Amino acid sequence: MLSKHSTMFMGNYSIDVKHINHLIENNSKLEHNLVKSDIYPRDRQNFASCLKISSNSVLDLLEQNNSAQATHCYLNLLNSIIQAYIHKTTTVSKRLYYGWMSAFLCRFWWTWIQLNKFGNTNLSKKVNKQKYFITKATYFSIELNIHCLTFIVLLVLDQQLPRHALNIYLFSSQSCESIFRDARALTGTFSSITNFSVKQFIKKAEKISILNSIKSQEERSNNNNDYSIRFPIHHKNRSFDQLNSSKCSDDDINKLTLEKIEIIIFNAYNDMKILINKLKMSKLIEQNNIKDINELSLFVNEYFANNSRTTDYSNIDTEEEEEEESDEEDGKDDSANDESSTESFSDEYEETDNENDYLMKATTVKEEFR
Bigger pLDDT: 249 vs 116: 116
What single-letter amino acid sits at 219? E
Q: What is the DSSP string of 1-56?
A: ---SS---EETTEE--THHHHHHHHHS-HHHH---HHHHS-S-TT-HHHHHHHTSH
* pLDDT above 90: residue 270: yes
Bigger pLDDT: 131 vs 333: 131
The model's pTM = 0.70
Residue pair 83/98 in contact (Cβ under 8 Å)? The answer is yes
Q: Helices 92-115 & 293-306, crossing angle to 10 degrees?
A: 60
In the chain the beta strands, taken as DSSP E runs, fall at 9-10, 13-14
Which residues share a beta bridge with 14? 9
* pLDDT above 50: residue 368: no
Tell me, what's the pLDDT at 47? 80
* pLDDT above 70: residue 323: no
Question: What sign has the CA pseudo-torsion 174, 177, 183, 184?
Answer: negative
Beta strand pairing status for 9-10 and 13-14? antiparallel
Mean pLDDT, rounded, for 65-70? 89
What are the φ/ψ torsions at residue 14 (nearest 5 degrees)? -105, 150
Q: What is the DSSP string of 180-209?
A: HHHHHHTT-TT-------HHHHHHHHHHHH
Comparing 60-69, 100-109, 111-120, the range with the smallest average pLDDT is 111-120
For residue 231, CA distances in Å to 68, 219, 235, 264, 335 come to 44, 10, 13, 39, 69
Comparing 18-32, 131-145, 245-259, 321-335, the range with the smallest average pLDDT is 321-335
Within 13 Å and on the Cβ side, how many CA atoms surround 272?
28
Q: How confident is the model at residue 349 (pLDDT cuts 50, 70, 90)?
A: very low
Q: Give tens-digit pLDDT for 77-94.
A: 999 999 999 888 889 999
